[in-house]
Amino acid sequence: MSKGFNGIPGNLQGMMKQAQKMQEQLQKVQQSAELYTADGSAGGGFVTVTANGKNQITAVQIKKEAVNPEDVEFLQDLVLTAVNDALSKVQEHQKDEMAKVTGGINIPGLF
Can you give 73-106 as a three-state secondary structure string?
A: HHHHHHHHHHHHHHHHHHHHHHHHHHHHHHCCCC
What count of Cα atoms within 13 Å lies in the side-chain half-sphere of residue 58? 14
pLDDT at 33: 80
Delimit the domains of the chain by residue range: 36-102
Predicted TM-score (pTM) of the model is 0.71
pLDDT at 99: 83
What is the fold of 36-102? Answer: Ybab; Chain: A; (3.30.1310)
Q: What strands lie across the sheet with 47-52, from one edge to the other?
A: 37-42, 47-52, 57-62
Beta bridge partners, 52, equal 37
